[in-house]
């Protein structure tokens, strides 16, 4: 594996331009809400990671294998089928918060939501904040 760079790298594309270009009107509106919410929660400027992930903040990771790199602390992507919210790095059990969230599916470090109308936005904000606090503990800022 070596130290090949993470295939998902920051780009110069504007996150606002990415959101404005989303074809599906509900997905575009939901992405705009997430962009505003995450900007407010994190205080960081949104950056595009690859062609379709809006990311906030960065952290440096080193795996036991020796592979290391940089990635966003939190973010989202508006895919055709759903919204994906990245609660990094996915090690902590957030089941108590998720139980109050509403309709969703869970991946390792991803939350899949069909549309924001399906979930409680206050609980989503609580979850994002909890994920960021977890990240700050595991990967203090400036590492």
Per-residue model confidence as pLDDT tens for the chain (143 residues): 445 566 778 888 899 999 999 999 999 999 999 999 999 999 999 999 999 999 999 998 888 888 888 889 999 999 999 999 998 777 788 999 999 999 999 988 899 999 999 999 999 999 999 999 999 988 887 65
Rounded CA separation 41/57 (Å): 11
Structural domain that includes position 33: 15-138
Phi, psi of 45 (to 5 degrees): -75, 140
* Within a domain: 65: yes
Residue 114 in domain: yes
Instruction: Say if 87 falls within a structural domain.
Output: yes
Residue 33 falls within a domain, yes or no?
A: yes
- Can you give the CATH number for the domain in which 24 is found? 3.90.1150.200
CB 101 within 8 A of CB 87: no
Structural domains counted in the chain: 1
Angle 25-42/121-138 helices, nearest 10 degrees?
50
8 within a domain of the structure (yes/no) = no
Q: What is the pTM of this model?
A: 0.88
Residue 10 lies inside a defined structural domain of this protein: no
């Amino acid at each position: 594996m070596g130290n090949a760079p993470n295939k998902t790298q920051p780009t110069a594309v504007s996150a606002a331009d990415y959101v404005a270009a989303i074809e599906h009107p509900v997905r575009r509106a939901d992405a705009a809400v997430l962009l505003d919410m995450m900007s407010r929660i994190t205080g960081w400027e949104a950056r595009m990671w690859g062609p379709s992930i809006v990311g906030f903040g960065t952290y440096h990771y080193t795996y036991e294998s020796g592979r290391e790199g940089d990635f966003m602390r939190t973010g989202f992507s508006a895919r055709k089928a759903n919204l994906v919210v990245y609660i990094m790095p996915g090690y902590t059990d957030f089941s108590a918060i998720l139980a109050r969230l509403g309709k969703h599916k869970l991946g390792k470090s991803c939350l899949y939501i069909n549309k924001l109308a399906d979930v409680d936005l206050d609980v989503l904000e609580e979850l994002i904040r909890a994920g960021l606090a977890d990240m700050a503990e595991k990967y203090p800022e400036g590492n």
